[in-house]
A and B are shown apart, each in its own frame.
Chain A
Amino acid sequence: SQTIHQWPATLVQPVGSPLSLECTVEGTSNPNLYWYRQAAGRGLQLLFYSVGIGQISSEVPQNLSASRPQDRQFILSSKKLLLSDSGFYLCAWLGVSDTQYFGPGTRLTVL
């Protein structure tokens, strides 16, 4: 069966520090992968999506970036965090049945 992992589960970082969030999918190959952010009181915002290794589409201009170094690994990064980067970050993948599945999320607090 397929599973999706995200780490860390929670993170508290100072403004201006770097960020690296990791997402790994097991039990499937060449999945479409997605990064979303959910901020307090706001909806789910798509940040990046990838249809294959090295293929990244950015939906929202910001100080975040994404990379897909391996087929089942998706990384979200920042060189310098802003207060507005605080939120709940969710990774997702698209199953063969067209159903989208989400990971458990990472709660990021920027102080």
Chain B
Amino acid sequence: KQEVTQIPAALSVPEGENLVLNCSFTDSAIYNLQWFRQDPGKGLTSLLLIQSSQREQTSGRLNASLDKSSGRSTLYIAASQPGDSATYLCAVRGHSGNTPLVFGKGTRLSVIA
């Protein structure tokens, strides 16, 4: 059974700092991996999707990498801003597009001005 772990559970950084959020998964036979952002009391917002054949995806100040063989993904946030404060969730989809996502418990990020 696929398990997704995110470390650390919480992170506090000063504004302007570059940071890395980590995600690991136990079964490397994934279809894709998706990073989400969740603000308090809100739904999830998709940030980046990496297909199993890809190594990384970039969107603005965000860069997500995937090392499928080692079961790891990282989300890099450059020049962090207070508006980046949120919970970031990693999720993997199994062997086909119809397989449901399995989520980690998230990393709660606070960017201090």
Q: Is the interface of A mostly helix, strand, loop or mixed?
A: strand
- The answer on a CB contact under 8 Å between B98 and A32 is yes
Among B43, B51, B91, B93, the residue within 8 A (CB) of A90 is B43
- Chain A residues numbered 85-111 whose CB sits less than 8 Å from any CB in chain B: 88, 90, 92, 94, 97-105, 107
In the complex, A90→B43 CA distance in Å? 7
Distance in angstroms from A48 CB to nearest chain B CB is: 10
Chain A contacts for B32, CB-based, 8 A: 98
Chain A window 6-36, contacts with chain B (Cβ cutoff 8 Å), 1 for yes, 0 for no: 0000000000000000000000000010100
* Interchain CB contact under 8 A, B46 and A44: no
Query: Which of B19-27, B60-68, B102-110 is the interface stretch?
Result: B102-110
- Judge whether B101 and A100 touch: CB under 8 Å: yes
Q: How far is the CB of A104 from chain B (nearest CB, A)?
A: 5
Q: Which residues of A contact B100 (CB under 8 A)?
A: 34, 46, 49, 59
**With an 8 A cutoff between CB atoms, is A56 at the interface?**
no
Q: A59-B100, A98-B32 are in contact. Are A43 and B105 (CB under 8 A)?
A: yes
Instruction: Tell me the residues in window 21-61 of chain B with beta carbons closer than 8 Å to chain A beta carbons.
Output: 31-32, 34, 36, 41-46, 49, 51
Complex CA–CA separation, A74 to B7 (angstroms):
34
Within 8 A of A (CB), among B54-105: 89, 91, 93, 97-98, 100-105
The answer to whether B43 and A103 have CB atoms under 8 Å apart is: yes
The reply to whether A100 and B98 contact each other, CB–CB distance below 8 Å, is: no
CA distance A42 to B100 in the complex (A): 18
* Nearest-neighbor residue (CB-CB) of A57 within chain B: B100
How many angstroms between the C-alpha atoms of A64 and B43 in the bound complex? 21
Contacting pair A102 B105 (CB below 8 A): no
Closest residue on chain A to residue B43 by CB atoms: A102
Would you give 16 A-B contacts (Cβ < 8 Å), ordered by A?
A: A32-B98, A34-B100, A42-B105, A43-B105, A90-B44, A98-B49, A99-B34, A99-B46, A100-B46, A100-B101, A101-B46, A102-B43, A102-B45, A102-B46, A104-B43, A105-B42
- Chain B interface (Cβ < 8 Å from any Cβ of A): 31-32, 34, 36, 41-46, 49, 51, 89, 91, 93, 97-98, 100-106
